[in-house]
Structure 1
Amino acid sequence: LEQPDWHCKIDEGSAGLVASCWSPDGRHILNTTEFHLRITVWSLCTKSVSYIKYPKACQQGIAFTKDGRYMAVAERRDCKDFISIFVCSDWQLLRHFDTETQDLFGIEWAPNGCVLAVWDTCLEYKILLYSLDGRLLSTYQAYEWSLGIKSIAWSPSSQFLAIGSYDEKVRILNHVTWKKITEFEHPATIANTKTIVYKEVEKSPSVETERLSFPPTRALASSLFSTQSKYDVSQVPVSLQYIKPVADRANPKMGIGMLAFSPDNCFLATKNDNIPNAVWIWDIQKLKLFVVLEQLCAVQSFQWDPRQPRLAVCTGNSKVYLWSPAGCVAVQVPLEGDFQIVSLSWHTSGDSMALLSKDNFCMCYLEREEV
């Protein structure tokens, strides 16, 4: 940003490239070569290069601590899984240890950087918790002989670990004993009268006949064919749309596919892939279901505002849905053309977010109320 003309091109040559990411300090780029032969660490300041061998091809094989001091890398060598922990300042190896996994699938640091969660392939429900020096602190296994873990999320305080699995349940572990303190089920019928169910409804905007012109202006044409969304509070019991997965296909759409804690540790948002149009928001203080958002389209992504308990949801259309304890609202993104939002990401300030479609992205700025 200080030198707008500065640019850099990195060429891995014949090794190829399958993944790339920034280091937390923004001064290094980590490239994973084809066939996961190695990870190349490129320094943008000194132009030096470091190599990390045997990275494992898995869903989440690299994890940085929140403070950016350490990096954990999942490795596979001699038909066994290993974890290597590196110091990010000089990329020196700090610890190297094997894991008690059949086929390691992902790793995730606790926000305090003291515990590393390691989970096994979906064919086996198994999560292992390691300390920074490589000691196995605990192992948790909810059941056997069925599809296991699909997603995990640490609470910002590192006190809770939420584990979503293919049996449509979320289990919450505590950080003292690493035992389950509760589990959240995701039934197709919401019967509890204390749960608020917001249902998205659409209506076509009314256009005054005096404003009609031929040919219609571009803005008028887009408004004629667009629909406005709002939320109604449904009376319980409410039956949600439940999709039975196709049993003979790989990667069945079932189980808890998304999990996220609010920044104040008060709420947990979840999505059950069997009920793709719903977002479940749980009260962590009471350990009960608080709110369900029932959308018209399948939920593509959601993310909490990093500054306050405000959840942004997108469903593959041109709207962003925002929920907070005060209520929820649907916001139409003012863009020309068909901008279908499939993913979103908040800025750390909470004042803006990046909205991504298949081919484009845009920045969305939220107005702040003047105090």
Structure 2
Amino acid sequence: MDFSEAYRYSGSLPTYSPDGKYLATAEDFKLVVRDVDTLQVVQLYSCLDRIQQLEWCCRSEYVLCGLTQRPIVQIWSVKDPDWTCKVDEGPAGVNAPRWSPDGQSIILVADFQIRMTIWSLVKRTCLHINGPKFADRGFGFSPDGSMMALIERHDCKDFLSLFAAKDWKPLAHLALPTQDAAGLAFSPDGSCFAVWDSSLDFQVLVYGLDGSCLASYRAHTDGLGIKSVAWSSTGQFLAVGTYEQEVLLLDNATWEPCAQLAHCEVVPESEQLVVYEEVEDTPPTNAPAVAQPPQSRPTPAPRSKPGGTQSSGKAVQVKRVSIVASARAQPAEARVVEAPRVDTRSHYVVQTLPARLRSLKPPIDKPNPKIGIGRMEWSADGKFLATRNDNMAGAVWVWDATRLDLVAVLQQVCAVRTFAWNPRSAQLAIVCATSRIFLWSPAGASCMHIPLPAFAALDVRWNRDGASLLVADRDRFCCAYTNT
């Protein structure tokens, strides 16, 4: 894997254009558009205030800049530097500005969720929708962009509204049987969408495009409810993450659980399961280490990329040690999660099974406990599901949806910040606020050192072609290029 130099950014994370050709970054008042392959500046624009949010339109021609402190939205054209657009919401405020699917309108939410405003850039008109429940979630568009569903809050009750995205005419308006609706998401196949309750109640509702309720699933009434929800890329499964440290897979035929994926502290023995543990090198070496399961193919030697910095090396011999013994040998505080050591190198070792994972017991007297499935991500082909159990923050679990079974666990030294799947292959990238990127695929797992001083990777995003990914620090970013 080859790495570029580090570049500065502020506010919103750098964003790839939908066509994968450009990279938009914010530097205080400036919008910088770079070429993805060379990272050379293509366009440079000056905004009226500090940029807080960036978003590309679907055609990769316009970039929306949210200046929420003003509150103003400015739009720039990549192809025509002289063209610009400004929307001033005045005292109403601007929150979470975004594009409509057709790229002809922008959607803004006022302060305190008083109203949602849809500005048409073609007709130069605006439409107000009162009472959106959330600014940054609680609404979505069908995959073909023809319909918008919105959760509203009126008189302390939840409502659902459907709109035709072409002319924004209302299609349906109905009351939701939820205590406190927390989110909404369309199925990737466009046949339905799901609405789920918050931690107050364990309830998932599935609605058709005409507003009819197709199914309702309620797991139990005791304890906390739903923490996260994610559709598989095929729409076959709806993954529901719970505070009880398990994932329920609802199939689209019966809308009942076809599997319960438990995240236990002790990983049982299984022929198809591999547990990788990150081990820091002492002293550090100059090579990334690759740990592979039995009979996996070797990692190809990296190719150099012009203008970049290369991180290369040979695979090390896999060691099999007991994670149970290593966990017991450490102090209790160290077994939970260790503080990031930014420039330390590391490698993976394959553990013997059964294996014990590092776990944290959250305090019961504080709100929003760090327990349960806080993040889930499906692979592009819908075969694999990656999850993180928040009270085992250093572990990433990878499940095979075709076998409904666990295939890999990656135990990190530090808490996992985020992870993302390659949009073109079953390759998972993980970052943990260290100077390393961790990659998993069915062939094995590897640790790649970022050759930049004091770089702590906090976020990672793939380009649409899967050939490069963006890695972001707090105020710097670099691009990593795969060798395939």
Q: What TM-score does the superposition give when structure 2 sets the normalisation length?
A: 0.69
Task: Tell me whether 1:81 sits opposite 2:81 in the alignment.
Answer: no
Q: Of 247, 270, 275, which aligns to 1:197?
A: 275
Q: Of 399, 415, 423, which aligns to 1:306?
A: 423
Q: Of 104, 109, 120, which aligns to 2:197?
A: 120
1:138-177 correspondence to structure 2 within 5 Å: 138-177=215-254
CA contact (8 A) 1:22 1:30 kept: yes
Name stretches of at least 5 consecutive residues in structure 1 with no aligned partner. 208-218, 220-224
**Deviations 1:266-315, CA, capped at 9 Å, x for gaps:** 11111111100000001111111110001111111111111111111111
Aligned twin of 1:137: 214
Aligned twin of 1:359: 475
CA contact (8 A) 2:343 2:454 kept: no
CA contact (8 A) 2:422 2:462 kept: yes
**Deviations 1:199-233, CA, capped at 9 Å, x for gaps:** 112214358xxxxxxxxxxx9xxxxx832222111
The AA in structure 2 aligned to 1:367 is T
Task: Tell me whether 1:231 sits opposite 2:348 in the alignment.
Answer: yes
The verdict on how the C-alpha distance between 1:226 and 1:338 changes in structure 2, with shifts beyond 3 A counting, is: closer
The verdict on how the C-alpha distance between 1:206 and 1:74 changes in structure 2, with shifts beyond 3 A counting, is: closer
For 1:334 and 1:13, the matched residues in 2 are separated by: 45
The verdict on how the C-alpha distance between 1:11 and 1:226 changes in structure 2, with shifts beyond 3 A counting, is: same
Partner-residue secondary structure (3-state), 1:172 = strand
Q: Mean alpha-carbon deviation: is it higher for 156-165 or for 196-205?
A: 196-205
CA contact (8 A) 1:59 1:106 kept: no
For 1:111 and 1:135, the matched residues in 2 are separated by: 18
How far the C-alpha of 1:352 sits from its partner, in A, is 2.2
Aligned twin of 1:297: 414
Q: What TM-score does the superposition give when structure 1 sets the normalisation length?
A: 0.89
Q: Of 18, 21, 31, which aligns to 2:108?
A: 31
For 1:332 and 1:9, the matched residues in 2 are separated by: 42
Q: Mean alpha-carbon deviation: is it higher for 18-27 or for 95-104?
A: 18-27
CA contact (8 A) 1:58 1:106 kept: no
CA contact (8 A) 1:205 1:226 kept: no
For 2:443 and 2:398, the matched residues in 1 are separated by: 13
The verdict on how the C-alpha distance between 1:138 and 1:104 changes in structure 2, with shifts beyond 3 A counting, is: same
For 2:344 and 2:450, the matched residues in 1 are separated by: 12
**Deviations 1:243-282, CA, capped at 9 Å, x for gaps:** 0011111110000001111111211111111100000001
Q: Of 432, 435, 442, which aligns to 1:325?
A: 442
The AA in structure 2 aligned to 1:33 is A
**Deviations 1:296-351, CA, capped at 9 Å, x for gaps:** 1111111111111111111112322111111111222343x433222222222212
The AA in structure 1 aligned to 2:173 is H
For 1:28 and 1:255, the matched residues in 2 are separated by: 38
Partner-residue secondary structure (3-state), 1:14 = helix
CA contact (8 A) 2:96 2:135 kept: no
Partner-residue secondary structure (3-state), 1:40 = strand
The AA in structure 1 aligned to 2:474 is K
The verdict on how the C-alpha distance between 1:162 and 1:71 changes in structure 2, with shifts beyond 3 A counting, is: same
How far the C-alpha of 1:354 sits from its partner, in A, is 2.7
CA contact (8 A) 1:58 1:105 kept: no
How far the C-alpha of 1:55 sits from its partner, in A, is 0.3
CA contact (8 A) 2:245 2:373 kept: yes
For 1:235 and 1:254, the matched residues in 2 are separated by: 26
How far the C-alpha of 1:25 sits from its partner, in A, is 2.6
Aligned twin of 1:283: 400
For 1:334 and 1:10, the matched residues in 2 are separated by: 42
Please report the RMSD computed on the Cα atoms of aligned residues, expressed in angstroms. 1.9
1:90-105 correspondence to structure 2 within 5 Å: 90-105=167-182
The verdict on how the C-alpha distance between 1:230 and 1:244 changes in structure 2, with shifts beyond 3 A counting, is: same
Task: Tell me whether 1:251 sits opposite 2:368 in the alignment.
Answer: yes
For 2:160 and 2:457, the matched residues in 1 are separated by: 36
For 1:34 and 1:46, the matched residues in 2 are separated by: 25
Partner-residue secondary structure (3-state), 2:91 = helix
Aligned twin of 2:294: none
For 1:4 and 1:333, the matched residues in 2 are separated by: 35
How far the C-alpha of 1:28 sits from its partner, in A, is 2.4
For 1:86 and 1:355, the matched residues in 2 are separated by: 37
The verdict on how the C-alpha distance between 1:67 and 1:330 changes in structure 2, with shifts beyond 3 A counting, is: farther
Aligned twin of 2:69: none
Higher relative contact order (CA 8 A, sep 6+): 2
CA contact (8 A) 1:263 1:309 kept: yes
**Deviations 1:160-179, CA, capped at 9 Å, x for gaps:** 11100000010111101111
**Deviations 1:33-63, CA, capped at 9 Å, x for gaps:** 1010111122334433222211003772121
How far the C-alpha of 1:129 sits from its partner, in A, is 0.6
